[in-house]
Every structure is written in C-alpha cells, then in structure tokens.
Structure 1
Amino acid sequence: MPRIALITGGNRGLGRAAALALIENGIEVIYTYRNDPGEKIDAVALPLHVGDLGSYDEFETALRRVLADRYDRTDLDFLINNAGVGRAGSIAETPVEAFDEMLDVHFRGVFFLTQKLLPLIADGGRILNFSTGLARFTSDGYAAYASMKGAVEVFTRYLAKEVAPRGITANVVAPGPVATEFGGGQLRDDERVRAHLGALTAMGRVGEPSDVSGLIAALLGPGTGWVTGQRIEASGGMLL
C-alpha cells in the first residue's frame, strides 16, 4: 500500500522542495496550490485557498475522490501544513488587512484544516507544521508573522497530545533564512542579503531548499515515530 503525503502550498518554495524529496523517497504526494499549480511533477495538484475556511468542504470531497480513485484508499499518512504568505512591517505600521491575511493562512488555516483532515489521517500517521526561526530570534518587520508562527508551535504541542492515542505524531519544523521565492525572492537573488544573513549562522550561509526538505523527509521516514510535540529548527545555527 502506498504511503501518501498531503502538502499545502506544494507548488513552490519549500513546499515544492518537500514534495520532490518525498517523491524521491517513494512517497506519493498530493499538494495544494492557490492560483498556479507550478511546474508539473509526479504528484496530484488540488486547488485550495488555505485562508478560506468556507472552501474546506469542497476540498475534502476532492481529496477523498483522489484517495479512492488513484490510490484505492480512504485515508493518508502524512499532513504537512506548509502554505504561507509573507507580509513584513513594523508593529506600528502593520495594517489590519495584512494581519488578518496572515492570521487566516498561518494560524486559523492550520488549526481548522488540520481539524477537518484529522479523520482522514491514518492511525500511526504524522503531522508536520511549519513555523519559523523568527519565533525564537527577532528581525525587524516580522512581529505579526512570527507571532502567528508562535501560535502554531503552541497548537502543535496540544495537537501532539490529542492525537497520540491514535499513534499519530505532530511536530514543528522551523526554518531559518532559506533561498526561495518567498517574500519576493530576496534571499535567493540578493547576494548582499545572503551574505549578511549567512554571517549570522554558525554554518556561515543561508539555507537552501534541500536543507529543509531533507529534514522533512527524515521526520517522515522510519525511526522517528517516537518524536512528537517537538520544535525542530533548521537554521544552520542562526544567532546562537
């Protein structure tokens, strides 16, 4: 029976890197996208706006159909809550609209999509939620974003306790600076920014998508089923 992972926001960035790493490890992938499914890979793409809770019923119906028709299953093994949106701004200048958008996607969406999909996660399955290194260290302009991720970390600990009787684990992956298109791609494209932030890490560089996707694949692999309720930071030793 194939192992199946659902990744939100798997059309780009760390979500796409995670999808490719899991496929390479023999895991079947279903991923969500909001507007553009991205470059075609050996996976199933389903549309979903994580911040729109009213769309969840339709998404669940589509997901159940894929599980039955493609995999002859009624459940999946892994849920990776990755979808995100970046909005920077000081506390004094953050507009309510930007705050609410991040709240909807990064916290309300993670909470209620997980709630919606818990019946579809097989006993013994695993849940990974994305946080950020910014929930530990600070950087100007990210108070609202990091606060949402801090809420995700608390939620994950409570989730881990609730799902443990089913043998399901729940953990948080907290990346540091990673060279993707997130937030306009500055970390990927601006060498001055890369050099500055790289100098703040013990490893002396910013992260690449494979640095984080490798961790995700490891956490969903054999031998890590005793790890739950934990925050695992993948930042190269940022600001130690």
Structure 2
Amino acid sequence: MTQRKVAVVTGGSRGLGRSTVLNLAKRGVSSIFTYHSAEDEARSVTALVKDAGATAVSLQLDTGDVSSLAGFVERLKTALVKLGAEGIDYLVNNAGISNHTTFLEVTEEELDKLYDVNFKGVFFLTQKLLPLLNDGGSIVNISSGVTRFVNPDSTAYAVFKGAIEVFTRYLAHDLGKRNINVNTVAPGAIQTDFSGGVVRDNPAVNKLVSEMTALGRPGLPEDIGQMIASLLSDGNHWVNAQRIEVSGGMRL
C-alpha cells in the first residue's frame, strides 16, 4: 500500500491556506495545518478534508513566536504518528499578516511584528522542519504581487515579502542535494479577509482591482489553492527556485 503524502500548511484555517489544504485533500494528500486563533474554522476544515477522503490535523501556532517552534515540532511529530507517517512531503509557508500604514507613520512595533510573522517565523520554522521533510519533497513560500508592482502604503509589508523571495532561491540552492524543490507563489489581490477583507467587501476596491487585471476580476482563494496543489504534484518537481505570480495578469 502506497503511503499517503503529508503536507504542513501554516495558516490553514482560512483563506488561501484553507483552500490549499482542501485542494491537496482532493489529490489524496493529508495535511497538518496550523491556525492562530480560529479554532472553530480549523475544525470545519478538518471535517471537509475527511469528506474528501483524506485526513487533516490542526495545530495551534503563532508563527511569529519563535520560542514556541520547538514545542510545535514535538506536537507535529505526534500528529505524524496519528497519520501513520514518518515525515512530511510538503511545506507551505502561508501564514502571514498585512500592513498598510504609510511609510512615514510605520512604527517600530509594526515593523517588528511584520518581521516576526512574515519572515523570521518562516525562516526558523523551515529550519526546524527540514529534518522531518523527506528527500524529494517540496517547499512553497507565499509572497505577494506587491514585490513586482508598487501598492500604496505597502512598503513595510512588501520588504519582508521580498526577503521571502530571496530566501526561496537560497533554499532551492542549498536543498538541491536532497532533491527538494523550493518555489515562491505570489498572489495578486484575493477576495479573502486578509487586510480586513478590503478586496472582497469594498465595492470600489473590487472594481479597481478588476479594471487593472487582465482576466477582469480579483482572485478567489480557490485560484491560489488549486495552483499550489498543482505545483506540489510530482509533474512539477522540475520547477525550482521560481517566483510564480498568480494574479490573473494584474498591472501588466
């Protein structure tokens, strides 16, 4: 019997992470996904994964608290036993926070929080999970369209997403000897509750995004989740060290 593959997805209870977990389940991949505070939503995702014929385990984690990562890894090892797996095949570093404070008003506290969650946590969680990542596995780091085009009042946010893209290339180089590929997925404007749900809930913003996107609408979580699940398939393993923008052709 072939061992079912296992993914770790951070921020898997909502939005892009949720869609990723569900689309992986459709492909027969089980997931261990994290949530920050949305425990009820995490339970809902677990149930939907079961309906799709796979298994998911949700674990609470504040990815910005590096001191908690060692304990998280031990809980993850317990979850792997529950899944009947010895290691993981995929890591999707999705969890993140936004910031739209104008550059002149960004505080040290805001910058530190963005650094902790959007870069430092990704860096050290990846480091701690590498011993559990099977040779031949894959890593996907989530960046943003704003590393290519300038978005108003996104300087602090964009800087650390840019760091993620450099991190991806260096990881791809260093992990090549283990046949692990590493890529960046950079979504455009997506209709989720990210940034307070502004793209989804503000008609003016929704219209503006639609007008600047070649395919004529903002993205949906499913657009990203399907793409990530596809990228993690065996047929795409030769794709490596790439920044892949998934934006419907935004600001061309």
Q: Same fold by TM-score, threshold 0.5 exceeded? A: yes
Show the counterpart of 1:193.
Answer: 205
Runs (5+) with no aligned partner, structure 1: none
From 50, 53, 58, the equivalent of 1:45 is: 58
Paired position in structure 1 for 2:76 = 63
> What is the percentage of aligned positions where both structures have the same residue?
46
- SS of 2:105's partner is coil
Q: Which of 168, 172, 176 is the matching residue for 1:156?
A: 168
Q: Which amino acid aligns with 2:66?
A: L
Q: Give the TM-score, by structure 1 length.
A: 0.98
Equivalent position of 1:115 in the other structure: 127
Q: How large is the Cα RMSD of the aligned pairs?
A: 0.9
1:157 to partner: Cα distance = 0.0
What is the CA-CA distance between 1:88 and the residue it aligns to?
A: 1.1
Task: Output the CA distance in 1 between the equivalents of 2:192 and 2:57.
Answer: 22
Count residues with an aligned counterpart: 239
Gaps in structure 2 of 5+ consecutive residues: 50-55
Residue 188 of structure 2 is matched in structure 1 by 176
1:185 alignment partner, SS class: helix
TM-superposition CA deviations, 1:67-103 (whole Å, max 9, x none): 12x1222210000000011121111011111111010
The alignment partner of 2:103 has SS state of coil
Q: 2:9 maps to which residue?
A: 7
Structure-2 separation of matches of 1:65 and 1:214? 28
More helix by share: 2
Q: Secondary structure at the match of 2:190?
A: coil
Q: For residue 166 of structure 1, what is the amino acid of its counterpart? A: R
Q: How far does the alpha carbon of each residue in 1:166-197 deviate from its partner, in whole angstroms, 9 at most, with x for none?
A: 01000000000000011111111122211111
Match of 1:32 in 2: 34
User: Residue deviations 1:192-230, cap 9 Å, x none?
Assistant: 211111111111111111111111011011211111100
Which residue does the alignment assign to 1:229? 241
Corresponding position of 2:53: none
Query: SS of the residue aligned with 1:223?
Result: helix
What is the one-letter code of the residue matched to 1:15?
G
Q: Deviations over 1:142-164 (max 9, x none)?
A: 00001100000000000001111
Task: Give a deviation string over 1:106-160, Cα, whole Å, max 9, x none.
Answer: 1101111100100000000000000000000011110000110000000000000
